[in-house]
Amino acid sequence: MSQIKEAILETNRQGHKAFIPYIMAGDGGLETLKPTILKLQELGVTAIEVGIPFTDPVADGPTIEEAGIRALAKGTTLRKVLETLSTFADGITIPLVAMTYLNPVLAYGIEAFAKDAYNAGIRGVIIPDMPLEESELVHPSLQAAGIDLVQLVSLTSTPERIEKLTKASEGFIYAVTVNGITGARSSFEGNLEDHFKTIQSYTDTPVLAGFGISTPEHVKQFGSFTSGVIVGSKIVDCLTKGDWDTIENLVKASKAVPLA
């Protein structure tokens, strides 16, 4: 079974909600990648989303976009990220999920990417600008390498669309909590609980909520009707400030029992 799915289900079995932080690889320099991942692992996160910087991040709000610009300015490339991850992949016990736009993957060469990503500890990929209809471009190679292709489900997806996406999504289902782009929100619209329950009803793949989640209250709120949460912009923000206390509090909010 998918290592990511297994990690999430195991977390749930222990009575916690999955917590997946997102980091922008290369923000602060590639030398920060190893210590950051190790520290997050220590805090007890379920998996880590590793963002790959790109010149045209159409799905990202200012926080992640600017982190990407900083990372690119330091010469970060997909190749260097995978190489760096490979140097310490042995010491990582949690699955990594790459979040990247399609063009860098195509430029790398999808087969080479699948192989190198796996060796770097990546067990899943999220490609926000690649719709399900185009996934044949990457899916066969990813599947052959043992890497999940995670689908994003939006708030406006119709039931038919939700069914299609949930059945196709591997590892987990990334259920987006807002209309639009990434970025911390203070509040959310609508009856999200029903929406998430509908998504879950189609599948036994775990559903995780992501986009905009930025406080321990959000984590608990979304955790209460999903298998867990993904926190992006807030984590990126905290990392640039070196604010590990806030990160720890966010992670703790996903645990039923406080960390020892």
Partner 1 sequence: MSKTLIQNGYYGNYGGSFVPDEVQKVLEKIAEEFAKVKDDPSFNEELNYYLKEYAGRETPLFFAKNLTEKLGGAKIYLKREDLNHTGSHKLNNVLGQILLAKRMGAKRIIAETGAGQHGVATATAAAMFGMECTIYMGAKDTKRQALNVFRMELLGAKVVAVDKGNGLLKEAVDEAFLDLVKNHDNTFYLLGSAVGPTPYPEIVEHFQSVISRESRAQHLEKEGKLPTAVVAAVGGGSNAAGAFSHYINDENVRLIGVEPAGAATLTKGSPGVLHGFKSYVLQDEEGNLLETNSIAAGLDYPGVGPLHAYLHETGRGEYVTVTNEEVLEAFQVLSRTEGIIPALESSHAVAHTLKLAPTLSPEDTIIVNISGRGDKDVQQVFELLKNQ
Which residues are at the interface with partner 1 (CB under 8 A)? Answer: 54-59, 61, 65, 69, 72, 77-79, 101-108, 128-131, 133-134, 152-158, 161, 165, 179-181
Residue closer to partner 1 (CB basis): 128 or 223:
128
Nearer to partner 1, 43 or 69 (CB): 69
Structure tokens at 194: 């029903």
Give min distance, CB of 127 to partner 1, in A. 9
Nearer to partner 1, 182 or 214 (CB): 182
Nearest CB to partner 1, comparing residues 47 and 71: 71
The minimum distance between CB 194 and partner 1, in angstroms, equals 18
Q: What is the dihedral of CA 66, 68, 71, 72, to 10 degrees?
A: -110
For the bound state, the minimum distance from the C-beta of residue 204 to partner 1, rounded and expressed in Å, comes to 22
Which candidate in 60, 65, 116, 148 is catalytic? 60
Catalytic residue among 10, 27, 49, 237: 49
Q: Smallest distance, Å, CB 144 to partner 1?
A: 21
Rounded to a whole number of angstroms, the minimum distance from the CB of residue 197 to partner 1 is: 19
Residue 245 annotated in active site: no
Active site residue 56: no
In whole angstroms, give the CA distance from residue 132 to residue 112: 21
| Residue-wise DSSP of the chain | --HHHHHHHHHHHTT--EEEEEEETTTT-GGGHHHHHHHHHHHT-S-EEEE---S--TT--HHHHHHHHHHHHTT--HHHHHHHHHHHGGG--S-EEEE--HHHHHHH-HHHHHHHHHHTTEEEEE-TT--GGGGGGTHHHHHHHT-EEEEEE-TT--HHHHHHHHHH--S-EEEE-SSS-----S---S-HHHHHHHHHHT-SSPEEEESS--SHHHHHHHHTTSSEEEE-HHHHHHHHHT-HHHHHHHHHHT-SS---
Report, as residue numbers or ranges, the catalytic residues.
49, 60
